[in-house]
Amino acid sequence: MKKWEIKMNIAKRAIVMAAGKGTRMRPLTYQTPKPLIKVNGKPMIETIIEALHDSQIFEIYVVVGYLKEKFAYLETKYRALTLVENPFFDKYNNISSLYVVREHLADSIIVDGDQIVSNAQVVAPKFNASGYATIWTENAVNEWMLKLDGNRILGCIRDEVLTGWRLYSISRWSKKDALTLRKYVEFEFETQKNRQIYWDDVPIFLHPDEFELEVTKISPDDVQEIDSVDQLADVDQHYRDLLSGDSANE
């Protein structure tokens, strides 16, 4: 390697967060965990797993909790995929999910399991620096909006209506930064008993000076987050028909 070339980090494993109850997607999530809801015939989480496989990432840890037994088939269908139970899912926020897989953070991609990935490049293994995917968003409400200097993350604003670069739940962590992330996740969860926070609060809001994070800018066509049944119906007509049927029966 020439001295002026930048050594790239390479993600060797993935962590998929899939323990939550998906309350905003009820009644669909009463019987089916949100990541397993099918969109145009395919469970959302499988779009993520297959994109990871396309990127040659096969070591995958899926954190489960709510209706955990529904995920069992994944270990049979996908090689090198491991389910990790979060026994705290019903009591604490998703910092608990990262806590239970903290030994696997080095050289990883962390992805929320309730997204639809259409472009495998959003989980490509090579990356310059640890950080998050981001999408330019107009009039976002109550989202995490990043303050940037080029690609470097300077801070984050939430709980307002804003236009700008929105944080998406796809992040990459080098071995060095993963050790720091693990240290502070353990500190917040074990020592501070700070268990009702998102895990992203740790690097973004609670200990930002311990990290030098950057963004990977992606397109809205690359990945979709589904946060309501109405949004689901916008991308899968099957659910629009169900909603129309429910209205007709009222």
The Cα 52–Cα 56 span in angstroms is 6
DSSP 145: E
Q: Which of 36, 39, 177 is nearest to 107 (CA)?
A: 177
Neighbouring CB atoms inside 10 A of 241's CB total 11
Tens digit of pLDDT for each residue in 176-224?
Answer: 999 999 999 999 999 999 999 999 999 999 999 999 999 999 999 999 9
Q: Give the alpha-carbon dihedral of 160, 165, 171, 173, to 10 degrees.
A: -110
Q: How would residue 228 be classed by pLDDT, with cut points 50, 70 and 90?
A: confident
Report how far apart, in Å, the C-alpha atoms of 185 and of each of 17, 62, 102, 132, 205 are.
15, 18, 8, 17, 13
Average pLDDT of every residue of the chain: 92
Q: How would residue 160 be classed by pLDDT, with cut points 50, 70 and 90?
A: confident
Tens digit of pLDDT for each residue in 104-138?
Answer: 999 999 999 999 999 999 999 999 999 999 999 98
The Cα 162–Cα 139 span in angstroms is 5
Give the per-residue pLDDT at 2.
53
Q: How would residue 246 be classed by pLDDT, with cut points 50, 70 and 90?
A: low
Domain ranges of the chain: 9-245
Q: How would residue 227 be classed by pLDDT, with cut points 50, 70 and 90?
A: confident
Whether 71 shows a pLDDT value over 60: the answer reads: yes
Name the strand (E) or helix (H) holding 229: helix 229-235
pTM over 0.95: no
Report how far apart, in Å, the C-alpha atoms of 167 and of each of 32, 60, 111, 134 are.
27, 22, 12, 5
For 9-245, which CATH superfamily applies? Spore Coat Polysaccharide Biosynthesis Protein SpsA; Chain A (3.90.550.10)
* Angle value at C-alpha 158, between 156 and 163, nearest 5 degrees: 85
> Which of 18-22, 158-162, 208-212, 228-232 shows the lowest per-residue confidence on average (mean pLDDT)?
158-162
Whether 100 shows a pLDDT value over 80: the answer reads: yes
